[in-house]
């Protein structure tokens, strides 16, 4: 299992989205049990017995430390060579955002807090059940997938196309002019079709929590947006009023 020569992701693993997990753990028994449990779940597992080897794997194949060849790292704290907290700190310092789950016999609150403060995403105290470990791994990988959906992708719904990076909106083949607030409001709506937003949620997202005006501001902006987007603003098909709740898009 231990290998300094990590293969590049194969095209097959890219296609099927096989998650690759690195375990840095010096206790053979625990490491072997984790490998078994995670491989059974279909994950690709790579291991390191000490901190130095772990760091080398993270920088393998000319991969800069800011970009991880792994989707998740399980990290013991008490490790030979380089300890887990230093690895975690170092990765975050380099801008690497790979999810890190700390596995440690240190159960005190201070250790947990310290682990999370240096940038770990979750903390599991030994001894733990393999079922719990697998569940936490799944949750961290799921969260990471959600983050990796590009936020600047072109959004399209019905006759409306929004280009986030160009701040442009095309409606029925014609470019329309939106104020910055109108644009951000539409971008938010289009990112979550059918989701119902309260006026307070829209204020918080677009105007920010310090906004002192009242929620009528939202209604005014919705009316302006309707006039620009809808074929019949009094009978909207995009910006729908949900009585008693707020608004939804589509
Ligand atoms: Ca250890």
Residues 99 and 196 in one domain: no
Whether residues 31 and 101 fall in one domain: yes
Residue 4 resides in a domain: no
Residues 173 and 77 in one domain: no
**CA–centroid distance, residue 33 to ligand 1 (Å):** 14
In a domain, 49, yes or no: yes
Whole-structure pTM value = 0.55
CATH of the domain at 181: 1.10.10.10
Q: Is residue 68 in some structural domain? A: yes
3 state SS of 239: strand
Domain that holds residue 204: 155-249
Ligand 1 centroid from CA 66, angstroms? 25
CA of 101 to the centre of ligand 1 (A): 14
What is the Cα–Cα distance from 9 to 31, expressed in whole angstroms? 23
Residue 121 sits at the vertex; the CA angle it makes with 57 and 84, to the nearest 5 degrees, is 45
* 122 and 37 co-located in one domain: yes
Residue 142 Cα to ligand 1 middle (Å): 27
Give 211-233 as a DSSP string.
--S-THHHHHHHHHHHHHH-SST
Q: How far does residue 49's CA lie from ligand 1's centre (Å)? A: 9
Q: Are residues 101 and 121 in the same domain?
A: yes
Say if 106 falls within a structural domain: yes
Q: Which two three-digit tokens encode residue 98?
A: 């790979």
Closest alpha carbon to 122 in 138, 130, 131: 138
- Let me know whether 88 and 29 are in one domain: yes
Q: Give residues whose Cβ lies within 5 Å of ion ligand 1.
A: 26, 76, 78
The answer to whether 123 and 133 have CB atoms below 8 angstroms apart is no
The verdict on 87 and 178 lying in the same domain is no
| 215 and 143 in a common domain | no
25 with 134, same domain: the answer is yes
Whether 7 maps to a domain, the answer reads no
Q: Which CATH number do you get for residue 98?
A: 3.40.50.2300
Q: How far is the CA of 246 from the centre of ligand 1 (A)?
A: 53
Q: Residue 74 C-alpha to ligand 1 middle, in angstroms?
A: 12
Q: Are residues 25 and 128 in the same domain?
A: yes
Between the CA of 27 and the centroid of ligand 1 the distance, in Å, is: 6
Coarse DSSP helix, strand, coil percentages of the chain, rounded to the nearest 5 percent: 40, 20, 40
For each of the chain's 250 residues, which pLDDT tens digit applies?
444 444 444 434 344 468 899 999 999 999 999 999 999 999 999 999 999 999 988 876 555 555 567 899 999 999 999 999 999 988 888 777 889 999 988 777 777 778 888 888 889 999 999 999 999 999 998 887 665 555 677 888 999 999 988 889 999 999 999 998 999 999 999 988 888 899 988 988 888 877 888 889 999 999 999 999 999 999 999 999 999 899 999 9
Both 159 and 244 in one domain: the answer is yes
Q: For residue 25, how far is its CA from the centre of ligand 1 (angstroms)? A: 6
Q: What tokens appear for 149 in the block?
A: 């959906």
- Say yes or no: 232 and 114 in one domain: no
CB-based contact 240:249 (threshold 8 Å): yes
- How many domains are contained in the chain? 2
In a domain, 1, yes or no: no
Rounded Cα gap, residues 84 and 51, in angstroms:
7
Ligand 1 mean position, distance from CA 163 (Å)? 49
């Amino acid at each position: 299992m231990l290998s300094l020569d990590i293969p590049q992701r194969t095209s097959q693993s890219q296609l099927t989205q096989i998650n690759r997990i690195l375990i840095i753990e010096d206790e053979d028994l625990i490491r072997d049990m984790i490998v078994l449990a995670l491989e059974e779940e279909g994950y690709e597992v790579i291991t390191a017995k000490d901190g130095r080897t772990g760091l080398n794997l993270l920088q393998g194949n000319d991969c800069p430390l800011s970009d991880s060849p792994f989707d998740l790292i399980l990290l013991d704290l008490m490790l030979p060579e380089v300890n887990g907290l230093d690895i975690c700190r170092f990765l975050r310092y380099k801008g690497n955002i790979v999810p890190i789950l700390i596995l440690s016999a240190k159960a005190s609150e201070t250790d947990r807090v310290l682990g999370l403060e240096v940038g770990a995403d979750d903390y599991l105290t030994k001894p733990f059940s393999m079922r719990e470990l697998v569940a936490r791994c799944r949750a961290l990988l799921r969260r990471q997938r959600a983050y990796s959906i590009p936020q600047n992708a072109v959004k399209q719904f019905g006759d409306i196309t929004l280009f986030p990076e160009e701040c442009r909106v095309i409606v029925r083949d014609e470019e329309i002019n939106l104020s910055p607030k109108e644009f951000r409001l539409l971008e938010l709506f289009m990112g979550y079709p059918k989701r119902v937003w309260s006026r307070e949620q829209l204020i918080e997202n677009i105007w920010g929590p310090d906004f002192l005006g009242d929620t009528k501001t939202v209604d005014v902006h919705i009316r302006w947006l309707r006039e620009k987007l809808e074929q019949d603003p009094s009978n909207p098909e995009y910006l729908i009023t949900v009585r008693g709740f707020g608004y939804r898009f589509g």
